[in-house]
Structure 1
Amino acid sequence: MTIYFYSTRERYGCFSNFSPHGFVLDDVYWPTSEHYFQAQKFVGTPHADQIRQVKTPKDAAKMGRERSRPLRPDWEQVKDDIMRKAVLRKFETHADIREELLSTGDELIVENAPGDYYWGCGADGSGKNMLGQILMEVREILRHSNQQ
């Protein structure tokens, strides 16, 4: 069985970066993993803190995609690791969603994002599904840390 997620209102909505599961990372509180991810595009600039403080993850995403802001030059190289770091911290912080992720066993996890061929599976399923891949990696990490 494959587990698909997209909207925070659906089953497995906690897998979305828009889910309201905040955490502390880099000594600062982030309301969602989306806030953290988008802010890292402008790390070390006032833009990062502006993004951290906006009300919704949708606003954070919008601000992070505004190309009027100075995108860090190494973004393409670091974005997967930044996403992995944020997702891991989110699931380490919240026991309820950690259990939800661990309960998926070895199922394939897919972000069913029709418009996103990198983080999601895209409209035709041919996308990279990087967010799904990272969730499965985080599931493995958590599974092994639970056994100690």
Structure 2
Amino acid sequence: MPLYFYSTREPYGEFSNFALYGVKIDGEWWPTTEHYFQAQKFEDAAYRRKIRDAHSPKLAADLGRSRRVPLRPNWESVKDDVMRACVLKKFETHSDLRELLLSTGDEEIVENAPGDYYWGIGKDGSGKNMLGKILEEVRAKLKNAAC
């Protein structure tokens, strides 16, 4: 039976990139994985700092979705790997989250994001669910590391 998550206020909301679990990546502390992921879209260091310093993951997401600053040219080809790296770091950093993820066993993990057909399943369930798939990959890595 699939395990659905979306809002940080609902069961398994900790799996959301908006959940308030910081990570240290590339020598810098990021308040959430959403902050890190959105900032990586840009080559402009000042704009990346602005996203890192955003007071909420929603503001970080809004800044990351802006097209007033050009995206890095290779973004589409690296975005999945950027997401893999920050999600893995989140679960390596926070033992309570790692235990929660491992407690899901072999269940399918689904980001029930109605507006996102790439990272989530979209409104009609036809989305790619890439974040859910990455969470499953991270879970398998953590499980293998524990063996």
1:98-113 paired onto structure 2 within 5 Å: 98-113=98-113
Structure 2: gaps of 5 or more residues: none
2: distance between equivalents of 1:111 and 1:95?
21
TM-score when scaled to structure 2? 0.98
Worse-matched range after superposition: 14-23 or 40-49? 40-49
Name the aligned partner's letter for residue 12 of structure 2: Y
Unaligned runs of 5+ in 1: none
User: How far apart are the structure 1 equivalents of 2:14 and 2:22?
Assistant: 11
Q: CA deviation at 1:45?
A: 2.3
Shift of 1:44: 5.0
4+ aligned runs moved over 2 Å, structure 1: none
Instruction: Say which SS state the counterpart of residue 72 (structure 1) adopts.
Output: coil
Q: 2:92 — aligned with what?
A: 92
Residue in 1 aligned with 2:124? 124
How far has the Cα of 1:46 moved from its partner? 1.1
Instruction: Give the number of equivalent residue pairs.
Output: 147
TM-score (norm 1): 0.98
- Percent of residue pairs bearing the same amino acid type: 64
Separation in 2 of the partners of 1:65 and 1:113? Answer: 16
> Which residue pairs with 1:32 in the alignment?
32
Superposition pairs of residues 40-59 of structure 1, within 5 angstroms: 40-59=40-59
Mapped to 2, the partners of 1:81 and 1:101 lie a distance apart of 20
